[in-house]
Amino acid sequence: MEAAMKAAMEEPLLADTGDAGKNGGDEEEESLVVIEVKKQLCLAGPLIVGMLLQNVVQMISVMFVGHLGELALSSASMATSFAGVTGFSLLAGMASSLDTLCGQAFGAKQHHMLGVYKQRAMLVLALASVPVAVVWAFTGDILVLVGQDPEIAAGAGSYIRWMIPTLFVYGPLQCHVRFLQTQNVVLPVMLSSGVTAANHVLVCWLLVRRLGLGAKGAALANAVSFLTNVSVLAVYVRLSPSCRRTWTGFSGEAFRDVLGFLRLAVPSALMVCMEWWSFELLVLLSGLLPNPKLETAVLSICLNTNSFAFMVPLGLGAAISTRVSNELGAGRPQAARLATRVVMILAFLVGTSEGLVMVLVRNLWGYAYSNEKEVAEYIAKMMPILAVSILFDGIQCVLSGVVRGCGRQKIGAFINLGAYYLAGIPPAFFFAFVCHLGGMGLWFGILCGLVVQMLLLLTITLCTNWDKEAMKAKDRVFKSSLPIDLAT
C-alpha cells in the first residue's frame, strides 16, 4: 500500500525532467529565457518594494526618537542594532527555511502542506522568541558589561523592552510573507507593507507625541504596525481564492516533525546570522579606530548605502529561491537550472548598474548625510570600494537564494562562516589596524569575505546535480505529506 501510494504521488513529478530547450531550436531556448526573465522580474519587483517598506517602519520610529534629543537617538539606534543582531536576524533566518519547504511543496502540488509548514514555523519561531525576549529584558545590563556608556545603555535597555511585543509579531509576519511568496503571490505582500508604512507615521505620532510616551511609544509603534501588516496578510490568506488550496485551516500536523523542521531552520538561521553579524562587527571595530566619531559615522553611512542598494539583489534572491524550489518540487530540474543562470545574469547587470551610479555620485553622496566636508570626502573615497562590494554581494545573494531553493542551507551556513570569519574579519582587522587604513581597511576586509563567499557559492552552484536535487525535493515533500504511520 505504501509503495503504491508513493508511486501515485510521484508520477506527476517525473513527467517533465528533460530540458525543454533540447526539443526546439535556438529560438525556443531564447523564448524560454525571456519567459524566465519575466517570471523573475514579476516576482522580484513587488518583493523589493515590500522589503524596502518593511525596513522603513523601524527607520520612521528612530526618526521620531531623533527629535526627542541626542541621548534618545543614540539609545534607540543602539537598541535597534542590538535587536537586529539578537532577534530579527534569527527569526528571519529560521523563517527562510519556508523558501525550501513551501516552495517545493507548491511545485509538487502538495498544496495543503504549505499551510502545515507555515503553522509549524510559527510555532517554532514563537518558542524561539521566548529566550530572545529574556535577553532583551536585560539588554541594558548586557551593554554595560561590554563597555557601553551607562546612560546610553540604560536608554537602549528601556527602548528594547518596549520592543518585545514586536518580537512575537515579527515571526508570524515573516512566515506569512514566505507562505505567499512561494506561491508566487507577491502583490499582497507589497500592498500590505505599503499600508503599514503609511500608517506607521500616524501610529508614531499618536504614541510618541499625542499620548506622550516618548521613545517608549516609538518602540511600541513597531509592534502595532507589524501586527497591522500580519493581520492584513492573515485576512488575505483566509479569504483569497488564491490560497484556498494552500490554507485549509489549523491542523494538528503542525506539531509533527518539529525536529525535522529545525534541521533545516537552524542552518537557515545561521546563513543569515553569519552575514548579518559580520557587518555589525565592523561598526564595533570602527569604534576602536583613532578617530572613532568620524570612522563610525562614515561606516554607518556606508552600511546604510549598502543596505539600500542590497534590496534589489535581495528581491532577486527571494525570487530565485521561489523559482528553484517550485521547479525542483515539480520535477523540472532543467527549468531550475535555467532559472539559476538567468538570475546570475540579472544580478550581474544590477550590480554593475548600481556600482556605476555609486561611482558617479561619489562626490555628492556624503553631503546627503552630513554637511561636514571631512565626512563627504571620506565617503567619496569609500564609494568605489562600495561599488565593487555591491556587485559581489548581489551575486552571492542570488546564489544564496539558489541554495535555499535547493534546501542546502547547511552547506551555505559553513560557507558563510568560513567566508566572513576566516576570510573577511581577520583581513579587515589587519588592513584597519596593522596597515592603518582605517574604515577603508575594514571594508577591504569584508570585501575579501564577499569574494570568497561568492566564489564558493558559485562553485557549489555550477557543480549542482539538478536531477539529484529534484529527487531530493520530491523525497522531502512526500515524506512530510505521507500520513504519520506511512512516513515512519
Q: Per-10-residue mean pLDDT for the chain, 488 residues long?
A: 42 43 57 90 91 82 77 80 89 94 93 93 95 94 83 89 94 95 93 91 90 88 92 94 90 85 92 88 80 78 85 93 94 94 95 94 84 86 93 95 94 94 93 89 92 96 94 85 46
pLDDT score of 481: 59
How many alpha carbons fall within 13 Å on the CB side of residue 371?
Answer: 0
DSSP state of 245: T
pLDDT score of 233: 95
Q: Alpha-carbon distance 483 to 469, whole Å?
A: 24
Cβ atoms 482, 348 nearer than 8 A: no
pLDDT tens digits for range 414-456 = 999 999 999 999 999 999 999 988 889 999 999 999 999 999 9
Grid cell 511545485 in the structure block, residue: 107
Rounded alpha-carbon distances, angstroms, from residue 147 to 49, 100, 284, 320, 428: 38, 41, 11, 42, 22
Q: CB under 8 Å, gap of 24 or more: what pairs does 232-241 form?
A: 232/188, 232/192, 232/195, 232/196, 233/173, 233/176, 233/177, 233/180, 233/188, 233/189, 233/192, 234/172, 234/176, 236/180, 236/188, 236/192, 237/176, 237/179, 237/180, 240/185, 240/188
Grid cell 514563537 in the structure block, residue: 126
Please tell me whether residue 372 adopts helix, strand or coil conformation. coil
Helix (H) or strand (E) holding 128: helix 112-137
What is the distance of C-alpha 436 from the center of its chain? Answer: 33
Grid cell 516552495 in the structure block, residue: 103
One DSSP character per residue, 319-340 reads HHHHHHHHHHHTT-HHHHHHHH
Q: What cell numbers appear for 382 in the block? A: 569609500
pLDDT score of 288: 80
pLDDT score of 409: 93
